[in-house]
């Protein structure tokens, strides 16, 4: 599904953020990207979703070279990704339903189908009863779950989360991770960045970064919990 071949990423006036990245992620896998702050985790996720392009090397996603992707083709590609950020990026001038429906409005999904899909997504994350509530009134864990609902409402084939539990206590963090596990169990590719590995009840892979390089033995190693 995703293949990195000798990928480097460098920003202007900076050293290489990522160096010689080689990895493969298959469809339906659960992958944890780990490492300390500044290791390059967020940049790696941005390259996977074509938010950023590599300085050198190639990134192949479903037979498409992201390095050569034209701007006009970006919207179609992005429909295949669900992105979740640590700071949620919710809109506080809209209620929960209106936040989640945004991707469907952008993609011109009919109002009837949109309403059905939004309520299904809210139900999946346990927030159906709060569809008319303003997100600012939700707890941190509930806001993150709302962000997940918005990410999955377009039915992406790959879900990418950048340190989604970093600001949550263990109880909320476990809830969020269990939601991710449930998506992987129905065939969604799930990629989560975190400082440390959570205790996963299912098989996963780990990409551990240090100073922009993959540091696993053999560089990319399947692990079992």
Which pLDDT tens digit goes with each residue over 63-97? 889 888 888 888 788 889 999 987 888 999 999 99
pLDDT surpasses 60 at 199: yes
* 118, part of any domain: yes
Task: Please state, in angstroms and rounded to a whole number, the distance separating the CA atoms of residues 217 and 19.
Answer: 16
Q: What number of other Cβ atoms are within 10 A of residue 66's Cβ? A: 22
The answer to whether residue 51 sits within a structural domain is: no
Give the CA-trace dihedral at 39, 44, 45, 48, to 10 degrees: -170
Q: Tens of pLDDT along 115-172?
A: 999 999 999 999 999 999 999 999 989 999 999 999 999 999 999 999 998 878 888 8
Closest to 25 in 3D by CA, of 51, 5, 41 = 5
Helices marked H in 30-169: 41-48, 74-78, 96-106, 111-124, 140-152
CB-CB contact of 102 with 154 (8 Å): no
In a domain? residue 9 = no
In the chain, the number of structural domains is: 1
Tell me if 21 is assigned to some domain. no
Could you list the residue range(s) of the whole structural domain that residue 155 is in? Answer: 27-45+74-223
- Residue 218: pLDDT band (50, 70, 90) is very low
Where residue 144 sits, what CATH number does that domain have?
3.40.50.300
Whether residue 84 is contained in a domain is answered as: yes
Residue 182 has pLDDT above 90, yes or no: yes
- Domain assignment present for residue 13? The answer is no
Both tokens of 124, joined, read: 């999946």
217 pLDDT band, cuts 50/70/90, is very low
Assign 3 to helix, strand or coil: strand
Residues with Cβ < 8 Å from 8, sequence gap 6 or more? 16, 18, 19, 20, 21, 54, 55, 56, 57
Q: Quote the pLDDT of residue 222.
A: 47
List the alpha helices (DSSP H) in 135-169.
Answer: 140-152
Instruction: Specify the pLDDT at position 205.
Output: 92
Q: What is the pLDDT of residues 41-69, one digit of tens each?
A: 999 999 999 889 999 999 999 888 988 88
Confidence of residue 9 (pLDDT cuts 50, 70, 90): very high
Does 18 reside within a domain? no
Residues 6+ apart with CB under 8 A from 50: 59, 61, 66, 69, 74, 77, 78
Q: What is the DSSP letter of 39?
A: S
Q: What is the distance between the alpha carbons of residues 73 and 83, in angstroms, rounded to a whole number?
A: 18
First and final C-alpha spacing in the chain: 23
Is 128 a member of any domain? yes
pLDDT band (50, 70, 90) for residue 221 = very low
């Amino acid at each position: 599904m995703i293949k990195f071949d000798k990928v480097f990423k460098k920003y202007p006036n900076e050293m290489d953020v990522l160096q010689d990245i080689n990895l493969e992620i298959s469809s339906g896998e659960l992958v944890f990207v780990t490492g300390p702050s500044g290791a390059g985790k967020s940049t790696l996720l941005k390259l996977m979703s074509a938010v950023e392009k590599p300085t050198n090397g190639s990134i192949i996603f479903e037979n498409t070279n992201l390095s050569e992707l034209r701007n006009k083709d970006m919207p179609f590609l992005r429909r295949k990704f669900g992105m979740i950020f640590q700071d949620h990026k919710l809109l506080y001038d809209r209620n929960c339903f209106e936040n989640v429906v945004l991707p469907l409005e952008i993609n011109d999904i009919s109002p009837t189908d949109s309403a059905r899909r939004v309520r299904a997504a809210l139900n999946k994350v346990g927030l159906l009863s709060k569809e008319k509530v303003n997100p600012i009134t939700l707890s941190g864990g509930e806001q993150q779950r709302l962000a997940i609902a918005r990410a999955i409402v377009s039915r992406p084939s790959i879900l990418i989360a950048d340190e989604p539990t970093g600001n949550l206590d263990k109880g909320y963090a476990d809830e969020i991770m269990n939601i991710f596990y449930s998506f992987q169990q129905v065939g969604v590719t799930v990629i989560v960045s975190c400082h440390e590995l959570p205790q996963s009840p299912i098989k996963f892979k780990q990409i551990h970064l240090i100073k922009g390089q993959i540091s696993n033995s053999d560089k990319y190693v399947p692990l079992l919990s």
